[in-house]
Amino acid sequence: MDASLSRFINENLVFLLFAPNVITYLLFGWDKHLAVYQRSRIPEAVLFFFTFLFGGFGALCGMIFFRHKTQHTSFLVLVPLLLLIQLAAVVLFKLYWQY
């Protein structure tokens, strides 16, 4: 990995992890709001996409706090799995590409 890219990620890691989680959490909340008022919903693929983009913690918090998508087996399995993979990726990055 390029040294400048590694340094940028290290210096901005908190923001790079915080932003997608907040966005994902808000998407779960907005989708729950739309579901309650029987409006057009956010597609599940979009929720999974943002969860995949390092939004696993925000998705899990959104599922718990808003009690949303908790009856869907795909969400119950994939969200925690993606969160574990994301945590492992962050730990490996911090261990092997620390500046």
For 48-64, the pLDDT digits (tens) are 999 999 999 999 999 99
The total number of structural domains that make up the chain: 1
Residue type, 74: S
Instruction: Give me the half-sphere count of Cα atoms (radius 13 Å) on the Cβ side of residue 76.
Output: 5
- pTM, two decimal places: 0.87
CA distance 29 to 95: 34
What distances in angstroms separate CA 1 from CA 7, 9, 12, 60, 98, one per listed residue? 10, 11, 16, 31, 11
List the single range of 17-26, 30-39, 88-97 with lowest mean pLDDT: 88-97
Domain containing residue 38: 3-96
- Chain-wide mean pLDDT for the chain? 92
Place of tokens 């008022």: 37
